[in-house]
Amino acid sequence: MKKIILSVCALALILFLFMGKKMERQGITKHLPTDYKQFVIGHRGARPMVPENTLSAFKYAKEHGVKMVELDVMLTADKIPVVFHDETLKRMARNPARIDELTFEELQKIELPAGERVPSFDAVVKLLKELDLSVNVEIKPSKPEFAKITAQKAWECIKANDFADHVFVSSFEWDSLFEFKKLAPSIKRGVLVEDVSPDWRETAKKLEAFSINYDANLLTPALIEEIHSLGYKILVWTVNDKKVANTLFEQGIFAIFSDEPDILGE
């Protein structure tokens, strides 16, 4: 009898430890737990206050209590991964040049608002590591044909800086995610969906996605129910209104991307 009780206890302990490990793996990154009730991700850092996607934006986010930031990665003409959102410098520097037509050196000569420069992904990763900040790396190839190489270059940099534990990856360019899955299967993946996207269901399944990342303007209660029933978390962009944020959280949304994470966060 004693033996049976001991065996049952041992089994229970093994199960408990196993479940514990499994729970551990549920975080969006290994670095972050999952139990935030209102999880707000700093969209491109913290936008209205400091120029987006810059070193200052990420520092600002950290100083204001943000736990995770989102950023966009694309490649220069000489295939250096940089953190920038648009394909051209029109909006940020009133310059029509394309990012993928400038070398990194040429790009550094162009001034962004507040005297900032487009940072290399490497410089940003080093800063995030120093700040101990988790990050949603959005792979944003400037052309579809750069889908794989952009994922490869981003991963090389994450690996070289030993930063995988802090990374969650997403992309509208789903080939980038398939490439990333090959390179770093343990990093969780979010399928970004926009109104022109083909059906995300099959892709999310093949990608073994963690989440579906949806535009706040397109998300409906029926979609929320469906995505949840398929077992994915939902991340929503871009939410800058507290009321909208609260409604989304009440509907079970896992996280929102906000330009004002310091105001909307817990």
Among residues 140 and 148, whose Cβ is nearest to Mg ion? Answer: 140
C-alpha 245/C-alpha 258 separation (Å) is 9
Q: Rounded to the nearest whole angstrom, what is the least distance from the CB of residue 69 to ligand G3P in the complex? A: 11
* Helix (H) or strand (E) run with residue 84 in it: none
- Residues 26-45 binding ligand G3P (CB under 6 A) are 43
Interface with ligand G3P includes 173 (CB under 6 A)?
A: no
In the bound complex, what is the minimum distance in angstroms from residue 206's beta carbon to ligand G3P? 20
**In the complex, minimum distance from the CB of residue 14 to ligand G3P, in angstroms, rounded to a whole number:** 39
What does the binding site for Mg ion look like in residue numbers (CB under 5 A)?
Answer: 72, 138
CB-based burial, 139-173: b 16+ in 10 Å, e otherwise: bbbbeeebbbebbbbbbebbeebebbebbbbbbbb
Distances (CA, A) of 10 to 3, 6, 19: 10, 6, 14
Q: Is 85 a catalytic residue?
A: yes
Q: Is 170 in the site for ligand G3P (CB under 6 A)?
A: yes
Contact of 259 with 46, CB cutoff 8 Å: yes
CB of 71 to ligand G3P, least distance (A): 9
Tokens matching residue 68: 């995770």
Pick one of Mg ion, ligand G3P, none as the site partner of residue 54 (Cβ within 5 to 8 A by kind). Answer: none
Which is nearer to ligand G3P, 13 or 238 (by Cβ)?
A: 238
From candidates 53, 211, 213, 258, binder to ligand G3P by CB under 6 A: 213
Lookup result for tokens 């987006």? 52
Task: Report 72-131 residues binding ligand G3P (CB under 6 A).
Answer: 72, 85
- The count of residues interacting with ligand G3P (CB under 6 A) is 10
The closest residue (CB) to ligand G3P is 237
125, 163 Cβ separation under 8 angstroms: yes
Closer residue to ligand G3P (CB): 60 or 214: 214
- Report phi then psi at 60, rounded to 5: -60, -45
Residue 42 CB, nearest approach to Mg ion (Å): 11
Considering the candidates 43, 64, 166, 228, report the single residue annotated as catalytic.
43
Distance CA 137, CA 6 (A): 47
Length of the chain: 266
Distance CA 132, CA 116 (A): 22
As a whole number of angstroms, the distance between CA 265 and CA 74 comes to 28
Query: Looking only at residues 245 through 264 of this chain, which bind ligand G3P when binding is defined by CB under 6 A?
Result: 257
Q: Indicate which residues carry an active-site annotation.
A: 43, 85
Residues within the interface to ligand G3P (CB under 6 A): 43, 70, 72, 85, 138, 170, 192, 213, 237, 257
